[in-house]
Amino acid sequence: MKAKACIIIGLLVIIVALPMLLRRDSDTANPDAADDTLVILSPHNESIRHEFGEAFAADWKKTTGRSIYIDWRTPGGTSEIRMVLDAGFKAAQKTRRQGIGVDLFFGGGEPDFSGQARLDRFQRLNVFDNHPEWFAENGPIPETFTGERYWPADHVWVGTCLSRFGICYNPDVLKRLDIPSPTRWADLGDPAYAGTIALADPTKSGSVARAFELVVQGEMQRALAHPGANPKAARESGWADGLRLIQRMSANARYFTDSASKVPLDVGQGNAAAGMCIDFYGRSYATDLTTRDNKPRVVWLPSNAGTTLSADPIAVLKGAPHPEIAQAFVAFCLSPAGQTLWFGRPGTPGGPRKRALHRMPIRRDLYTPEILALTTIPDANPWHDKGNLTYQPELTGAAFGTLRQLVKIMCIDSHDELTDAWSAMREAGMPADALAVFSDVSRVNYATVGHGDARLSGKDKLATADHAAELGEWFRTNYRRAAAIARSTRP
């Protein structure tokens, strides 16, 4: 008995001692010894947090002589952060306090920051007054680009780096399925991809919702650019084509996920052939996942004429406990020293210490051949990329919320019926009559919902729930009918 107890206790001691022996301490990690503290709420990954934390701490020490502890608050992705902000500010309002004990909100998408700004939760940023040259016309940080806003007129948030959604694919799987490499969203609607596409979930992230909006807008702009096109008719047909493309991509999809890393990971493992993926995860996995003969298992590329370059912002929260340090952090992020961290190769001057972040800085003046040579994306040229799409808010901006709901109703909630019909149609050689029923989007045409539909995204949640149930059933009935037609015509 004693021997057994000794073995078990001995084993437990060894297991617990192991991390103690391997422990590495960081310069910035000791909250008790630090002179200053900065509290940052962020969905950024651990690598970004680590590099920016260490670099800012070093910069702070250099400029002020004081040590700093960065208290990163990471409750999850942007949806969890939104809920944390809501809970905090609601309680603050009730108890008439200023702020929620957090200094900065760092990372997310423009829709997340615009939403919080509308709720008046941000302070004006000093960097606009201290460094007006950074925001001057033709200065390093433009107000808008590709139709995307990089800072608002009231200067309460500012983008720190750029990102865009694109396509990642696994060359091995494409070879096995005998599919050519995709270059644009429309390629992901090819029935040959059935069951092998990994999609991001537009209902849980504003940035992904924007990516879906751009899929529709890409089709609308293509229709409008057609010589001699009637603008009204082109908008109508482009909208319908966009919805049908989302339908086909979704019919090929295995799932819709809110985890940014799941898509490139599944593609890299060969569980999915291709997917919709944000650039830095795509690039990171492309570098890290290789085959035995060192060929990449993930290839990432921007969808040709299918994506804009959106900003990943930062903002100082109202009632921030350390407003001066928070403003200094924002200025550091926009300074050349902070900006180089985003794309520098680890170990190069000004680059990250440990890991490449694979992201594109927002400052235009850093995209010089000399600097790019020291980065992990030497061929990056976002400012002159001919494949960029320019977002035209007047086309679909009013339907942003509606479109997201529509994807949910038409594709996510109805996914079982959608994929079943798709599979039946594939087996039957895509009969035209079945396809017509399958891709009927007449009830959600541009005239009806293209400028936003209160029945889908209005404030009356009960009415929207009932309409969603009814519309969803209409789509599912169509999919079931399409499946039945296809099965009855199968040779």
Give whichever of 383 and 474 is closer to other proteins, judged by the CB atom.
474
| 354/341 Cα distance (integer angstroms) | 11
The Cα angle at residue 321 between residues 316 and 322, in degrees rounded to 5: 70
How many C-beta neighbours within 10 Å does residue 369 have? 7
Give whichever of 239 and 280 is closer to other proteins, judged by the CB atom.
280
Binding mask 255-274 for other proteins (x = CB under 8 A): x--x--x---xx-xxxx---
Which one of residues 63, 144, 290, 381 is an interface residue with other proteins (CB under 8 A)?
Answer: 290
Q: Assign residue 23 a region (left: φ > 0; alpha: ψ between -120 and 50; beta: otherwise).
A: beta
| 279/277 Cα distance (integer angstroms) | 6
Give whichever of 149 and 254 is closer to other proteins, judged by the CB atom.
254
Both tokens of 272, joined, read 């999915």
Which one of residues 88, 159, 431, 450 is an interface residue with other proteins (CB under 8 A)?
Answer: 88
Task: Read off the DSSP letter of residue 412.
Answer: I
| 125/155 Cα distance (integer angstroms) | 6
The Cα angle at residue 411 between residues 249 and 441, in degrees rounded to 5: 90
97 binds other proteins (CB under 8 A): yes
| 248/194 Cα distance (integer angstroms) | 9
26 binds other proteins (CB under 8 A): yes
Helix (H) or strand (E) holding 255: strand 253-257
CB 173 within 8 A of CB 270: yes
353 binds other proteins (CB under 8 A): no
18 binds other proteins (CB under 8 A): yes
Say how many residues touch other proteins, by CB under 8 A.
98
| 35-54 residues near other proteins, rule: CB under 8 A | 45-47
Q: How far is the CB of 369 from other proteins (least distance, A)?
A: 26
473 binds other proteins (CB under 8 A): yes
Sheet holding 165-169, edge to edge: 253-257, 197-200, 274-278, 165-169, 299-302
Query: If we measure between CA atoms, which residue out of 202, 195, 187 comes closest to residue 266?
Result: 195
How far is CA 217 from each of CA 144, 148, 305, 307, 400, rounded to the nearest angstrom?
A: 18, 14, 10, 10, 11
95 binds other proteins (CB under 8 A): yes
Which one of residues 61, 82, 124, 318 is an interface residue with other proteins (CB under 8 A)?
Answer: 82
Give whichever of 415 and 487 is closer to other proteins, judged by the CB atom.
415
Give whichever of 124 and 204 is closer to other proteins, judged by the CB atom.
204
Give whichever of 135 and 479 is closer to other proteins, judged by the CB atom.
479
Q: How far is the CB of 332 from other proteins (least distance, A)?
A: 21
11 binds other proteins (CB under 8 A): yes
Query: If we measure between CA atoms, which residue out of 241, 240, 253 comes closest to residue 197?
Result: 253
Residues composing the chain: 491
For 166, list phi and psi in degrees, rounded to 5: -150, -165
| 83/122 Cα distance (integer angstroms) | 16
Both tokens of 465, joined, read 């729930």
121 binds other proteins (CB under 8 A): no
Which one of residues 187, 413, 440, 453 is an interface residue with other proteins (CB under 8 A)?
Answer: 413
Q: How far is the CB of 124 from other proteins (least distance, A)?
A: 25
Binding mask 153-182 for other proteins (x = CB under 8 A): --------------------x--x------
3-state secondary structure of 435: helix
481 binds other proteins (CB under 8 A): no
β-strand partners of 261: none
Q: How far is the CB of 127 from other proteins (least distance, A)?
A: 27
1-9, 215-223, 424-432, 434-442 -> range binding other proteins (CB under 8 A): 1-9
289 binds other proteins (CB under 8 A): yes
Binding mask 294-333 for other proteins (x = CB under 8 A): ---x------------------------------------
Q: Which residues have CB under 8 Å from 268's CB, separation 6+? A: 170, 285, 289, 297, 298
Both tokens of 300, joined, read 């990432």
Which one of residues 9, 225, 373, 447 is an interface residue with other proteins (CB under 8 A)?
Answer: 9
Give whichever of 125 and 482 is closer to other proteins, judged by the CB atom.
482
Which one of residues 154, 288, 365, 433 is an interface residue with other proteins (CB under 8 A)?
Answer: 288
363 binds other proteins (CB under 8 A): no
118-126, 337-345, 401-409, 445-453 -> range binding other proteins (CB under 8 A): 401-409
203 binds other proteins (CB under 8 A): yes
405 binds other proteins (CB under 8 A): yes
Which one of residues 160, 205, 221, 327 is an interface residue with other proteins (CB under 8 A)?
Answer: 205
Give whichever of 242 and 268 is closer to other proteins, judged by the CB atom.
268
64 binds other proteins (CB under 8 A): no
Query: If we measure between CA atoms, which residue out of 476, 418, 417 comes closest to residue 443?
Result: 476
Q: How far is the CB of 355 from other proteins (least distance, A)?
A: 6
Strands 104-106 and 274-278, by their bridges, are unpaired
